[in-house]
Amino acid sequence: MMRLPPFQYLAPVSVADAVKLMADHGPEAMLVAGGTDLYPNMKRRQFEPTVLVGLRGVRDLAGVRRPGAGAVAIGAGTTLTAVARHPEVRARYAALATAAGAVSTPQLRNMGTLGGNVCVDTRCNYYNQSYQWRKAVNFCMKKDGEICLVAPGSPRCWAVSSSDTAPALWSLGASVRLAGPAGERTIPLSALYQDDGIQYLTKQPGDIVTEIVLPPSDGARSTYLKLRRRGSFDFPVLGVAATLHMDGPTVRQARIVLGAVASLPRESVEAGRLLVGERLTPEVIDRAADAAYRPAKPLDNTDLTHPYRKRMVRVYVARALRRLAGLPDEAEA
Amino acid sequence: MNKDRFSIIGQPLPKIDAWAKVVGETKFADDLVMSRMAHGKLLRSPHAHALIKRIDTTRARALPGVYAVITGHDLPRVKFGILPVSQDEEALCVEKVRMVGDAVAAVAAVDEETAERATELIEVEYEPLRSLMSIEDSLAHPEVRIHEYGDRPNVHKAVSLQFGDVEAAFAAADLVREDVFYFEGNTHLPMEQHSALAQWGADGKLTLWSSTQTPHYVHRLLSRILDVPPAHIRVVAAPVGGGFGGKLDPFAHEIAACRLSQLTGRPVKFTLTREEVFYVHRGRHPVLMWIKTGFKNDGAITGMHFRSWLDGGAYGSYGVASTFYTGALQTVTYKIPVYKFEGARVFTNKPPCGPKRGHGTPQPRFAMECQIDKAAEQLGLDPADMRRRNLAEPFVKTANHLTVTTIGLGECIDRVVEASGWREKRGHLPPGKGIGIACSSYLTGAGTAIYWNDMPHSGVVVRADRSGLVAVLCGATDIGQGSDSILAYLVAEVLGIEPKDIRVHPADTDLTPVDLGSYSSRVTLMAGNAAIQAAERLREKIFAAVAQKLEAQADQLAVGERRVFVRDDPERGVSFPEAVVLAESMWGVLAFPGSYAPPRRAGKYKGGGVGPSPCYSYSACVVEVDVDRQTGLVTATEVWIAHDVGRALNPLLVEGQVEGSIYMGLGEALMEEQVFRKGVHKIPSLLEYKSPTTLETPEIHTILVESDDPEGPFGAKEAGQGPLLPVIPAVANAVYDAVGVRIDETPITPEKVTKAMDSKRQGKPARVGPERLPVFRFPEARVVESAFGHPAEDIAVRPFASAPHPLPRGERVRGGGAS
């Protein structure tokens, strides 16, 4: 079987200790919570940290709290299973409950955490391979190599953001609390990401995501649709999260965020803008779906072909909005 | 069906190893641990095609914790292969690698981590050669030869067989269709990764425990490869965690384990990673097919001409047999009076293909059953009726000289048509929903061994002693299909005891009589018949001893409920253990052999050895699908399958085999692709190689049809492979019914469906499939007279058979089981 490389496991019991350990060990260290993404990646030598700072012993990181004014704060160490089942999350933030429940398999959702999924490594089928496999294709720039194998002329890495919960949280207007050597700060979740397959997070490696804060739901409707071949196990090859705030039958605010089409979750601002002030008619929905579809540029580095994935952006955005409007998935032919 | 004459047979009993497997007690090969055991690791080639210029193992050997490092120079320089005609493999390549994943060196070390680190310290200098990654590539570049042997450069095998005048048959047809299909390669995906543990003892004798389906063939080949007399080698097949044909060849890790154990004086264990299992492969061949068939207006077939091009990968493996199998079984389901077959297997720089569940026959079955669906539409016939009207006849020969016994296919079609509501549904389902049908047939054991010999294909020893114990010793390998359980049921039935009273000791070349292995759906029939023969011989001795004690005639005795008694006076009798004591007292040690070899029926032409079988199973399958017209995603929503199993020795096990076949068939139809990019397998992992989960497995309705075949043990035929075959074309036909597009290649992915629907909307042909065929001239056909409709030879004649059969076996009427 595939074996882990040797490493030292440190088990702090507080966030402060974890921050200190990360600072002490510098770039040799990585954080690990559920380990469902990190350990397999280590077996394939995508990461070779000599020190792991484990967050499972930090009890404060798990659980849901209500900081006031209708907001909900979810500890980064809360398991995906717990998030998906949480009654308040299900009732008020349906996109998040659905997305958390759509990650991988039940077993991995029992181990994997919300913070881990928000920070999950970008993926590429030239990269998520064993060391020996990557050696056979001369490695890529994300690990051990010089060029991007999916876009060889490109100066950057095109690995794909593959989080289910990130697009959902983005559409819901969530923010994240970070703890680092300089103290704590809260940033919009959308500011956590940047469009680079290697440096896909804006935070410093020693910063710990401690909490995800959801604003008051305010009666908003939200949903998340995931394209994948199987009903379980698979990472998204397209995710569509949509959150709508309504004034009666009219859209007051709309946020549509795509997952797995770039190295970060990508908000389709234009699609959202086209919905504001409109009723959710099939025509309006089609216009918004078209606006979301045009700029999407998936590359050939996941399951299913990229022209197909692009084509599905329109279908899935339309479906997400139709579901929120109470319309059937497909117009009668 | 006369079921009440049986007590064990026909009962839905749990497998005898069910409890051990459920609680984790079963010891698979990787669970075996020995003191002082070393862990092995192979270094594999990162090049698809390259010359090896230099290998330096110095740094690896110097690593602390490394016991030994070997290359091909440390093994006898002998090439091997499972088939005598394709001796083209080396455990560790010496001069050349032919695929990414070819092994070049092996390490034994204190633990797996150290062994792996050591492989990284081995320096190999390669000179890359042009890699040939497709049939077209390999045919276009005869100057780049993957092997020096073969019928032509890069052509492993090209065959051509003709049975009667097909051109005349086409001239006499009302409709002649030519269609082209492609079946994508896919792999077995057993849950258990291959594992082997070797111990070269201080006595100079070798023992290998391995997850193999064929301990006997491994035994023979190890002797040749290691240059050790077979009498000094013992091969034990550990319980196998899924085979499906992927554990039928001798493998590099087995050979390296043996040699490393010899060098280190330690037991050495190798367990492959999942990625390595994808490289070891031997799975479904990608096959390009052209099929031309003549039909009469009533749907009758006048003749068929079939061509196949197989992408064989880097080595021969079972490929010659696979090639013949793509042409062998077309004739067994429907009346095809004349038939021509041309096939070619081409080498490419990819993991070698070989036998996977249905070996070489799912691909042509897909082509043929889709073509029949198209023809039915053109002729204005219902596809189920058209098939039903043209069924092959029982107890006659086919055009290509195969002897068919019972055929339960008519009943299979009737039952699935009725159960599925075919007549109400077809053409009447809402948009996006559709229903399709297909049929198939499969061998119940290959009629010939892979090496020529006159010995039994299967042997069983049944032993009993004064403890009342009955032990069944047989070389067959339980790969999860339940062969150990079947042996226990059969012996229990003959002796009137319970399966729990029996211990089955399988697959140990020191202790068990030879069985050729778990392949070609042969074990239930062959080992089963041998077990019945052995048990009957034991029972005969028991009857003689009990008759003396009871002062009765032996032929008046019967068995049942753990007793031996007078049939007409059941109170007069003894318990089974007492009966064994009486017999052991009279006869001495009680150990009786049973032997089985299939009837000799191979057609008298070259290639006639592939296709014959004692009898054939039949299946009919209806699949209902839901096609998302926007995404093209196809969901199989319900499956009905009727399978002619001859007799269900244990209906629970048969249903398990059928359901597993459906699940595997749906994966092949809709998802699975063994595909390559930059010379390497694109997705060698359980995550990215898409195979269905339980969530994708629809409701399955299994209907068992019993035709009571005279060749089978208590009438049984196979169940493990045949039911996979009709699923794939039934899905394709259902997709057509749902959205009116033909996807003439597997897998039927959402991209292909949306592409075909686009074409349809644009008024172009509503089809996705291969557009062209290779430029290839097949050899001149060997023309043999069609044997279509000739009567079968006497079915009772086979080597080692006991005659006459002492157990009352019910009325056997020729034509029985045909409907």
Question: DSSP secondary structure string, B536-595?
Answer: HHHHHHHHHHHHHHHT--GGGEEEETTEEEETTEEEEEEEHHHHHHHHHHHHSSEEEEEE
Q: What is the mean pLDDT of residues B285-311?
A: 98
Phi, psi values for residue A249, rounded to 5°: -85, 0
Q: What is the mean pLDDT of residues B597-615?
A: 91
Local structure of B330: helix, strand or coil? helix
Q: What is the pLDDT of residues B463-489, one digit of tens each?
A: 999 999 999 999 999 999 999 999 999
What element of type H or E holds B44? strand B38-44
Contact B671 A229 (CB under 8 A): yes
**Angle made by CA atoms B524, B527, B529, in degrees to the nearest 5:** 85
Contact A227 B693 (CB under 8 A): no
Contact B750 A136 (CB under 8 A): no
Contact A333 B629 (CB under 8 A): yes
Nearest CB neighbour to A130, from listed B275, B629, B754: B275
Contact status of A306 with chain B (Cβ, < 8 Å) = no
CA distance B402 to chain A (A): 41
Does the CA dihedral B629-B630-B633-B636 come out positive or negative? negative
pLDDT above 80 (res B442): yes
Residues of B in contact with A130 (CB under 8 A): 273, 275
Query: In the structure encoding, which two tokens stand for residue A316, read together?
Result: 């899935």
pLDDT above 90 (res B1): no
Local structure of B112: helix, strand or coil? helix
Residues of A in contact with B749 (CB under 8 A): 304
Rounded Cα distance between B509 and B206, Å, is: 12
Q: Are B248 and B221 in contact (CB under 8 A)?
A: no
Residues of A in contact with B628 (CB under 8 A): 330
**Residues whose CB falls within 8 Å of the CB of residue B363, separated by 6 or more in sequence, listed in order:** B181, B183, B284, B285, B287, B289, B308, B326
**Angle made by CA atoms B463, B468, B471, in degrees to the nearest 5:** 30
What element of type H or E holds B235? strand B233-237
pLDDT band at B805 (very low <50, low <70, confident <90, very high): very low
**Cis omega (within 30 of 0) on the bond before B804?**
yes
Residues of A in contact with B695 (CB under 8 A): 230-232
Contact status of B758 with chain A (Cβ, < 8 Å) = no
Residues of A in contact with B275 (CB under 8 A): 130, 132-133
Rounded Cα distance between B437 and B733, Å, is: 7
What type of residue sits at position B435? I
Q: Are B70 and B263 in contact (CB under 8 A)?
A: yes
Contact status of A136 with chain B (Cβ, < 8 Å) = yes
Q: What is the pLDDT of residue B782?
A: 83
pLDDT above 50 (res B806): no
pLDDT band at B184 (very low <50, low <70, confident <90, very high): very high
Q: What is the pLDDT of residue B10?
A: 97
Residues of A in contact with B431 (CB under 8 A): 333
pLDDT above 90 (res B741): yes
Q: Outline where DSSP puts E strands in B740-799.
A: 742-743, 767-768, 782-784
Rounded Cα distance between B555 and B86, Å, is: 52
Contact B696 A136 (CB under 8 A): no
**Which of A84, A87, A73, A98 lies closest to A214, judged by CA?**
A73
Q: Are B118 and B63 in contact (CB under 8 A)?
A: yes
Contact status of A195 with chain B (Cβ, < 8 Å) = no
**Which of B68, B86, B510, B671 lies closest to B322, judged by CA?**
B86
Q: B16-28 as b/e, with b when 16 or more CB fall inside 10 Å?
A: bbeeeeeeeebeb
Query: In the structure encoding, which two tokens stand for residue A255, read together?
Result: 């946020």
Contact status of A227 with chain B (Cβ, < 8 Å) = yes
Residues of A in contact with B684 (CB under 8 A): 129, 133
* CB atoms inside a 10 Å sphere around CB B281: 29
A244 Rama class: left (phi>0) / alpha (psi -120 to 50) / beta: beta
Contact B271 A1 (CB under 8 A): yes
Nearest CB neighbour to B683, from listed A125, A132, A230: A125
Local structure of B724: helix, strand or coil? helix
Query: In the structure encoding, which two tokens stand for residue B617, read together?
Result: 């199973």
Task: Kindly list the distances between the CA atom of residue A298 and the CA atoms of A31, A99, A151, A263, in Å, as whole numbers in the listed order.
Answer: 29, 20, 12, 10
Burial, A67: exposed, middle or buried (Cβ in 10 Å; 0-12, 13-18, 19+)? exposed
Local structure of B687: helix, strand or coil? coil
**Which ranges constitute the DSSP H helices of B671-764?**
727-739, 750-761
Contact B754 A308 (CB under 8 A): yes
Phi, psi values for residue B600, rounded to 5°: -85, 105
pLDDT band at B794 (very low <50, low <70, confident <90, very high): low
* CB atoms inside a 10 Å sphere around CB B216: 23
Three state DSSP letters for chain A: CCCCCCCEEECCCCHHHHHHHHHHHHHHEEEECCCCCHHHHHHCCCCCCCEEEECCCCHHHCCEEEEECCEEEEECCCEHHHHHHCHHHHHHCHHHHHHHHCCCCHHHHHHCEHHHHHCCCCECCCCCCCHHHHHHCCCECCEECCCCCCCCCCCCCCCECCCCHHHHHHHCCCEEEEEECCEEEEEEHHHHECCCCCCCECCCCCCEEEEEEECCCCCCEEEEEEECCCCCCCCCCEEEEEEEEEECCEEEEEEEEEECCCCCCEECHHHHHHHCCCECCHHHHHHHHHHHHCCCCCCCCCCCCHHHHHHHHHHHHHHHHHHHHCCCCCCCC
Greatest C-alpha distance within chain B: 88
Chains A & B: contacts with CB separation below 8 Å: 78
Q: What is the mean pLDDT of residues B34-47?
A: 98
CA distance B717 to chain A (A): 34
pLDDT band at B793 (very low <50, low <70, confident <90, very high): confident
What element of type H or E holds B121? helix B112-121
Local structure of B125: helix, strand or coil? strand
Q: Extract the residue ranges of chain A whose pLDDT is less than 50.
A: 333
Describe the strand order of the beta sheet including A183-188 as a list of residue ranges. Answer: A64-68, A71-75, A208-214, A175-180, A183-188
Burial, A68: exposed, middle or buried (Cβ in 10 Å; 0-12, 13-18, 19+)? exposed
How do beta strands A51-54 and A29-32 pair?
parallel
Contact status of A154 with chain B (Cβ, < 8 Å) = no
Q: What is the pLDDT of residue B4?
A: 60
**Residues whose CB falls within 8 Å of the CB of residue B663, separated by 6 or more in sequence, listed in order:** B692, B697
Chain B residue whose CA is closest to A315: B630
Q: What is the pLDDT of residue A56?
A: 94
pLDDT above 80 (res B177): yes
pLDDT above 80 (res B608): yes
**Which ranges constitute the DSSP H helices of B625-741?**
651-670, 727-739
Nearest CB neighbour to B695, from listed A230, A304, A307: A230
Rounded Cα distance between B114 and A295, Å, is: 49
Nearest CB neighbour to B273, from listed A2, A128, A307: A2
Query: In the structure encoding, which two tokens stand for residue B513, read together?
Result: 């009589």
pLDDT above 80 (res B795): no
pLDDT above 90 (res B802): no
Contact status of A331 with chain B (Cβ, < 8 Å) = no
Contact B631 A234 (CB under 8 A): no
pLDDT band at B818 (very low <50, low <70, confident <90, very high): very low
Contact status of B687 with chain A (Cβ, < 8 Å) = yes
Rounded Cα distance between B37 and B67, Å, is: 11
Rounded Cα distance between B619 and B646, Å, is: 11
* CB atoms inside a 10 Å sphere around CB B301: 24
Percent above pLDDT 90 for chain B = 95
pLDDT band at B600 (very low <50, low <70, confident <90, very high): confident
Describe the strand order of the beta sheet including B233-237 as a list of residue ranges. Answer: B66-71, B103-109, B38-44, B268-271, B195-200, B206-210, B233-237
Q: How far is CA A158 from the centre of its chain?
A: 16
What type of residue sits at position B389? R
Contact status of B191 with chain A (Cβ, < 8 Å) = no
**Residues whose CB falls within 8 Å of the CB of residue B617, separated by 6 or more in sequence, listed in order:** B441, B442, B443, B444, B521, B643, B644, B645, B646, B717, B718, B719, B722
**Block residue for tokens 């150290």:** B114
What element of type H or E holds B104? strand B103-109
**Block residue for tokens 């999916």:** A150
Residues of B in contact with A2 (CB under 8 A): 273-274
pLDDT above 90 (res B143): yes
Q: What is the pLDDT of residue B792?
A: 85
Query: In the structure encoding, which two tokens stand for residue B317, read together?
Result: 């493996």
Q: What is the pLDDT of residue B812?
A: 37
Local structure of B763: helix, strand or coil? coil
Nearest CB neighbour to B630, from listed A2, A136, A330: A330
Residues of A in contact with B47 (CB under 8 A): 136
Q: What is the pLDDT of residue B808?
A: 40
Q: What is the mean pLDDT of residues B745-757?
A: 98
The least confident of A139-143, B9-13, B436-440, B805-809 is B805-809
Phi, psi values for residue A114, rounded to 5°: -65, -45
Q: Average pLDDT, whole number, for chain B?
A: 95
Rounded Cα distance between A13 and A55, Å, is: 8
Contact status of A107 with chain B (Cβ, < 8 Å) = no
Q: Are B569 and B528 in contact (CB under 8 A)?
A: no
Contact B749 A132 (CB under 8 A): no
Q: B687-713 as b/e, with b when 16 or more CB fall inside 10 Å?
A: ebbbbbbeebbbebebbbbbbbbbbbb
What element of type H or E holds B58? helix B58-62
